[in-house]
Amino acid sequence: MELGTRNIRSAGHGSGSIEVTLPSPLRDMAGLPCRIALRDGLRPEIVLVPDMRPAREAMQRLWNLLAIALAAPLGTLPLAGIGIALLPDAGLDRLGWVDAIALAKPPPHMPEQLCRPLRAMALQAARALELGEDTAPAFAAAVAHAVTGLVALPADQEACDIAAALVTPALITPTLVTPAGTAGFGDDAFDPVMWSAMAPLLRQLLELHQDLDHHPERLGALRRAWRHGVALELTGD
Predicted pLDDT at 178: 41
pLDDT in tens, 1-16: 666 777 777 777 677 7
Do 147 and 83 lie in one domain? The reply is: yes
Do 46 and 69 lie in one domain? The reply is: no
| In-domain check, residue 3 | no
Do 46 and 57 lie in one domain? The reply is: no
| In-domain check, residue 2 | no
Do 44 and 76 lie in one domain? The reply is: no
Do 195 and 222 lie in one domain? The reply is: yes
Nearest-CA neighbor of 140 among 154, 119, 117, 167?
119
Nearest-CA neighbor of 131 among 217, 222, 207?
207
Specify whether the CB–CB gap between 172 and 36 falls below 8 A. no
Indicate the pLDDT class of residue 170, thresholds 50, 70 and 90. Answer: low
Do 152 and 225 lie in one domain? The reply is: yes
* C-alpha to C-alpha distances, 152 to 89, 117, 118, 120, 135, nearest whole angstrom: 12, 10, 10, 10, 16
Do 98 and 28 lie in one domain? The reply is: no
| In-domain check, residue 38 | yes
Of residues 190 and 182, more confidence is placed in 190
What lies within 8 Å, CB to CB, of 82 at 6+ separation is 93, 94, 95, 120, 121, 124
Specify whether the CB–CB gap between 140 and 123 falls below 8 A. yes
Share of the chain above pLDDT 90, in %: 61
Do 224 and 187 lie in one domain? The reply is: yes
Specify whether the CB–CB gap between 149 and 185 falls below 8 A. yes
Indicate the pLDDT class of residue 169, thresholds 50, 70 and 90. Answer: low
Taking residues 206-219, report their average pLDDT.
Answer: 95
Predicted pLDDT at 36: 87
| In-domain check, residue 154 | yes
Domain count, the chain: 2
Do 42 and 116 lie in one domain? The reply is: no
By residue range, what is the domain housing residue 185? 53-235
Do 62 and 42 lie in one domain? The reply is: no
pLDDT in tens, 82-132: 999 988 888 889 999 999 999 999 999 999 999 999 999 999 999 999 999
Residue 36, SS3 per DSSP: strand
Predicted pLDDT at 120: 96
Of residues 19 and 41, more confidence is placed in 41
Do 113 and 217 lie in one domain? The reply is: yes
Q: How many Å apart are CA 64 and CA 61, to the nearest integer?
A: 5
Mean of per-residue pLDDT scores for the chain:
87
